[in-house]
Structure 1
Amino acid sequence: MFKVAVIGASGLLGRALADELAQQPGWQVAATAFSRPAPGRIALDIRDAQAVEQFVEREAPDALVIAAAERRPDVCEHDPALARALNVDAVRTLAAAANRRGAWTLSISTDYVFDGTHPPYQHDSVPAPLNAYGHSKLEGERALTESTDLGCVLRLPLLYGPIVSWAESAVTSLVPAIAASAAPAGQPAVMDAWAIRYPTFTPDVAFVIRQMLELHARGDAIRGIVQWSGDEPMNKYEIAVRLAEALQLDAHLTPQRTPTDATPRPHNCHLASTRLEALGIGRRTPFDTAIRQVLAAFPWRGAAQA
């Protein structure tokens, strides 16, 4: 029996990962959640060091994946204490507890540890975050490496996948505005056409993590920093155009060519996935194929009112 603890299994990535791992014969998943408890999920506040210690001691996982985080840049900017508690201190607590049990820890990080001026970024490129979110995730990377010798950081870009609400991903969060712009009296929706993103499908990431876990199960754990990314560059305006096509909506979209976000965001943080690819790890579902799967599984009619 190979046991994996998925921390934050109710989130966008955590659900995809828990689903992927549950299909593996001989594997057991200990899935935790905080804001969305459900049957089969263990309630855990990762800010509670004692609760974390008790969870790891009781479940005794062979590996632990930290998919819980505060990932909203604007929230991190305005509440740096919350960002530190979830993205730094909790990572340190979890990694240290796992290390005491000899469990491998995988912590999820972000392309926002880079400033976006010199892509593509390798796993050993020098980080230079522009905002509080990027800073907190970079500190979280360091917290992991300081807490365990049996750990790995996986940096990821913009994620999308099966959702429980439109707002859960920055990709699907565009749908209500797209739908409203297509209404008979709808106003054009202004979409950012400045920042270049690489939307990455959560079931693909889950597949990648499962492959990494298989290496650990065979005694060949990956350490240090690795990165995974979709390979289709697009800005939010281009994403919105493709969403409108998938939804068969005659949307009225206007590109915004200069940055307007109050929180600074990088221009292009393309992550090179070469370290994982060299190990034969990876899977990429084309964006148009994947987003249609997401939309087909989530009712979008009335999205303008959602």
Structure 2
Amino acid sequence: MSTVAVIGASGLLGRALVRELGTCAGWRIVPTAYRRVQGDTVALDIRDAAAVAAFVERVRPDAIVLAAAERRPDVCQHDPAAARALNVDAVRTVASAARQCGAWVLSISTDYVFDGSAPPYRIDDPPAPLNAYGLSKLDGERALLQSNPFGCVLRLPLLYGPVLDWSESAVTSLVPAVVASQAAGARPAPMDAWATRYPTYTPDVAYVIRAMLEQHAKGQAVCGIAQWSGDEPMTKFDIAVRIARALSIDARLEAQTASADATPRPRDCHLDSSQLDALGIGRRTPFDVAIGEVLSAWPAPTPSS
């Protein structure tokens, strides 16, 4: 039986991965969380090097998936030191502890390591982040690969999936505004129509990670840098239109054709996923199907909420 530590198991991706691995025989899953600690989840602050070392020494995992991060670009821009503590220093800490016990370690990174000017991006294209978030994740990639050659960075784009609240994903965070826009007298909801995104379903990512863990278990671990992405390009305006259609509401939306973000963001960071595609381990659920599943899980807010 292989032991897998899922660090950040209470987050959007971590929960999907724990569910995916829980469907497979032969896996012992040890989930950790910083705040949402319940059931068999272990409390762990990955910024505490001593606590991380003690956890890894006690659990002796065969593999570690590091899904905890500061993922909010505006927060990173306003407090880069705090972001680096989680996205860089903690990655180095986990990678070093994994090396001590011989565990394969997978760390989640982002398409924001690129500037968005020349997509699609292959794994060996030179990074050029535009903001503090992208820079912290790039430095986190380097920290992992320098600390533990038996590890892998998995770059991912915009994620969405089953949520605990709408704000967990930049996709589902649009739901309240979309719903409110249908109210009598409401102004159209402004939606970004400048940046192209590739929303990627967390259960699909969990499936990919499970396949990568199976590669490791067979002695064929993917190391270095890997990338995975959905393949449907859309702006937030396009996403909002599809959300409205899935909810069967007559939303009033306004396309913003110029970037209105205070924190600079890349325009199109489409990730080339051919490396993992070639291994035959990918899965891409169509967006309309996946967002329908997410929205049907619990009621959308009312126009007055």
Q: TM-score, normalised by structure 2?
A: 0.99
- Aligned match of 1:194: 194
| 1:163–1:298 CA contact under 8 A, matched in 2 | no
Change (3 A) 1:240 1:219: same
**Would you say 1:184 and 2:193 are equivalent positions?**
no
**Would you say 1:220 and 2:196 are equivalent positions?**
no
| 2:157–2:199 CA contact under 8 A, matched in 1 | yes
* Counterpart AA for 1:297: A
- Aligned match of 1:295: 295
* Counterpart AA for 1:63: A
- Aligned match of 1:17: 17
d(CA) in 2 for partners of 1:10 and 1:300? 22
| 1:177–1:304 CA contact under 8 A, matched in 2 | no
d(CA) in 1 for partners of 2:304 and 2:86? 32
- Aligned match of 2:129: 129
| 1:16–1:203 CA contact under 8 A, matched in 2 | yes
* Counterpart AA for 1:43: A
**Would you say 1:76 and 2:76 are equivalent positions?**
yes
* Counterpart AA for 1:277: D
**Would you say 1:247 and 2:247 are equivalent positions?**
yes
d(CA) in 2 for partners of 1:278 and 1:113? 23
- Following TM superposition, the consecutive aligned residue runs of length 4 or more in structure 1 with deviations greater than 2 angstroms are 301-304
| 2:182–2:303 CA contact under 8 A, matched in 1 | no
- Aligned match of 1:35: 35
- Aligned match of 2:274: 274
Change (3 A) 1:212 1:303: farther
What's the CA shift for 1:280? 1.1
Q: Secondary structure of 1:182's partner?
A: coil
**Would you say 1:147 and 2:172 are equivalent positions?**
no
| 1:178–1:240 CA contact under 8 A, matched in 2 | yes
- Aligned match of 1:236: 236
What's the CA shift for 1:298? 2.2
Q: Secondary structure of 2:225's partner?
A: strand
Structure 2 alignment gaps of length 5 or more: none
d(CA) in 1 for partners of 2:304 and 2:172? 12
Q: Secondary structure of 1:120's partner?
A: coil
What's the CA shift for 1:299? 1.9
What's the CA shift for 1:37? 1.2
* Counterpart AA for 1:152: C
| 2:154–2:226 CA contact under 8 A, matched in 1 | yes
d(CA) in 2 for partners of 1:179 and 1:206? 29
Change (3 A) 1:304 1:156: farther
d(CA) in 2 for partners of 1:277 and 1:179? 37
d(CA) in 2 for partners of 1:213 and 1:114? 26
* Counterpart AA for 2:175: V
What's the CA shift for 1:140? 0.2
Tell me how large the CA RMSD over aligned residues is: 0.8
Change (3 A) 1:89 1:303: farther
d(CA) in 1 for partners of 2:51 and 2:224? 27
Q: Secondary structure of 1:285's partner?
A: coil
What's the CA shift for 1:302? 2.4
What's the CA shift for 1:185? 2.5
d(CA) in 2 for partners of 1:60 and 1:140? 23
What's the CA shift for 1:187? 1.4
d(CA) in 2 for partners of 1:269 and 1:12? 21
| 2:176–2:301 CA contact under 8 A, matched in 1 | no
d(CA) in 1 for partners of 2:303 and 2:11? 21
Aligned residue pair count: 305
Q: Secondary structure of 1:243's partner?
A: helix
Structure 1 alignment gaps of length 5 or more: none
d(CA) in 2 for partners of 1:51 and 1:273? 35
| 1:10–1:36 CA contact under 8 A, matched in 2 | yes
d(CA) in 2 for partners of 1:304 and 1:2? 49
**Would you say 1:205 and 2:218 are equivalent positions?**
no
Deviations 1:73-131 (A, max 9, x none): 00000011111010000000000001100000000000000000000000111000000
| 1:49–1:93 CA contact under 8 A, matched in 2 | yes
| 1:175–1:303 CA contact under 8 A, matched in 2 | no
d(CA) in 2 for partners of 1:165 and 1:93? 30
| 2:73–2:133 CA contact under 8 A, matched in 1 | yes
